Structure 1
Amino acid sequence: MIHPTAIIDPGARLADDVEVGPFSVIGADVEIGSGCVIGSHVVIKGPTTLGCNNRVFQFASLGEECQDKKYHGEPTRLVVGDNNVFREGVTVHRGTIQDRGETTIGDHGWFMAYAHVAHDCVIGDHVIMANQATLGGHVTLGDHVILGGLAAVHQFCHVGAHSMCGGGSIVTKDIAAFVMVTGNPARTHGLNAEGLKRRGFESESISELRRAYREVFRSRRTLAEVLEEFDQQSLSPTMQQFVDSLKAAKRGLTR
């Protein structure tokens, strides 16, 4: 299960069925759960915890020190959930003490070749980052977010659940839930209706979100005016999630 050329630090804790390929290096304070498959030439440094059934392809680097000049070797963490795939050359860095001290990745993520997750990012479940998509530090991605190839998200941005960023997008502001954005700088281009259909959202909910999208992004009213109107209504859980993502925007809203 563990290739003889792999180097496993005595302080690492691996479940009995973990596979480790040739020339991979597993450092101290690394914990790897059951069912994980670590390919060849992978480097995992700690403190890092991987849940169950993750697959890490060749030349990926997980849990390395972050690229932040404020970082001076503090024992920050990377925590990864279950059933994630990290393709060739993916890099994921630990956190900093200036933030949570932890980079967090949820479950069922798919990180394609050479994607980068920087320090202190919080990644939800079922996230897809296509080839060479890049996150700055302190970025939050909600559940089911999709980033197209070469998309880049500025540090401290929040990307709402079920949103989609087209390939090559440069995201410098927060993104509402359920929308599609693309361009440099990124701008909204409609509701992510097809993605919502694939995930089982009812047609009534999608129609409700379409109407709300038009009010927020295509009317001449201010965001404050639209939110005040929403606050006076009894909202469905889906609409409430949309409204909450608008209110949570700290860096300005991608429009």
Structure 2
Amino acid sequence: MTSSARIHPSAVVEEGARLGEGVVVGPFCHIGAEVELGDRARLLSHVVLAGRTRIGADAEIHAFASLGAAAQDLKSRGRTGALVIGRGCLVREGVTINAGTPADGGETRIGDDCAFLAYSHVGHDSRIGDHVVLSNNVLLGGHVRIGDHAAIGGATVVHQRVRIGAQAFVAGLSGLEGDLAPFGLAGGNRAHLFGLNLVGLRRRGFSDARLALLREAFRRLFPQETGAEVLAERIEAAARDFAGVEDVEAVLAFLRAERDRPLCAPRPGRG
């Protein structure tokens, strides 16, 4: 623990915890002995950091957040993995992020510059990229994978082992049971694919020409009509027709990867 850390008298910092330069620990926080906090991290109040948890610089963690507690997985009781959170992350009130389990590498990992809004939950062994946003009350089951710049609307539930591709968006009040391709927009109970995340992609500076290529690729890969070719045939056709188009190749790589869940697809007959 560095001398520059500012720790409220009511906080408990166990011996062995490592606090970076300029860390601020507010009232009634509890930091475990194996926790490592990066420079300038701020714990506002009533925060619990447990287990083998490492949090990067410039984190901002609000009241009643609990990070690094053992997984809510009955098979792993008594065996707790680690939690690694990147730099610049915002964790709002009541957020819970569980540590990993020995069954899947023992680690839950969060990227840089993510935002976890009030009462969202990240289950054990999840892997979350950079610049990801979870809105209020989002619940992620264990082993979920989320790519960079993805966002999830409020009160959405994501089934364990689901993958969400980079720059995808899941609408609020959804139940996502299947893998959502990069750049996709999904929503509903149960969630289905609507098309491209056009609002998010335009905000990130995607040109009309770039969006047109993605739109055409999505139309071919995820047809609305019945009787279309099987997915493998659609993937190979798209690989030929969009060779060298980086965005489409990212979608194809996602579709070709091994998966534990079905794909999130369009609802038949819906545009």
TM-score interval for Structure 1 and Structure 2 normalised by the shorter chain: over 0.9
Aligned-pair CA distance for 1:42: 0.4
Counterparts of 2:105 and 2:36, CA distance in 1: 20
Among 29, 37, 43, the alignment partner of 2:42 is 37
What's the offset of the Cα at 1:200? 1.7
- Partners of 1:158 and 1:249 within 8 A in 2: no
CA-based RMSD? 1.1
CA shift, 1:72, in A, is 2.7
- Equivalences for 1:66-81 in 2 at 5 Å? 66-81=71-86
| Aligned counterpart for 1:228 among listed residues 212, 226, 236 | 236
| Structure 1: gaps (5+ residues) | none
CA distance in 1, matches of 2:71, 2:80: 11
1:17 aligns with 2:25: no
- 1:245 aligned residue: 254
Any idea what the Cα deviations from partners look like across 1:107-140, whole Å, max 9, x if unmatched?
Answer: 1101000000010000001100000001000000
Q: 1:75, CA displacement in angstroms?
A: 4.2
Q: 1:40 & 1:118 partners in 2: Cα distance? A: 23
Q: Deviations over 1:16-45 (max 9, x none)?
A: 310000000000110000011011000000
- Residue matched to 2:53: 48
Deviates more, 1:72-81 or 1:10-19: 72-81
Runs (4+) off by over 3 Å: none
Give distance in 2, aligned partners of 1:72 and 1:189: 40
Native 8 Å contact 1:45 1:64 kept in 2: yes
> What is the TM-score normalised by the length of structure 2?
0.91
Other structure's SS at 2:103 match = coil
Identity %: 43
User: Hey, what does 1:172 align to over in structure 2?
Assistant: 177
Aligned residues: 255
Q: Distance in 2 between matches of 1:107 and 1:91?
A: 17
C-alpha deviation, 1:242, in angstroms: 1.3
Structure 2 portions without partners, runs of 5+:
1-5, 266-271
1:243 aligned counterpart, secondary structure? helix
How far off is 1:66 after superposition?
A: 0.9
Aligned partner of 1:6 among 2, 6, 11: 11
Shift of 1:249: 5.7
- Name the counterpart of 2:268: none
State the distance in 1 between where 2:123 and 2:102 align: 14
Matching residue of 2:139: 134
**Counterpart selection for 2:124 from 115, 119, 122:** 119
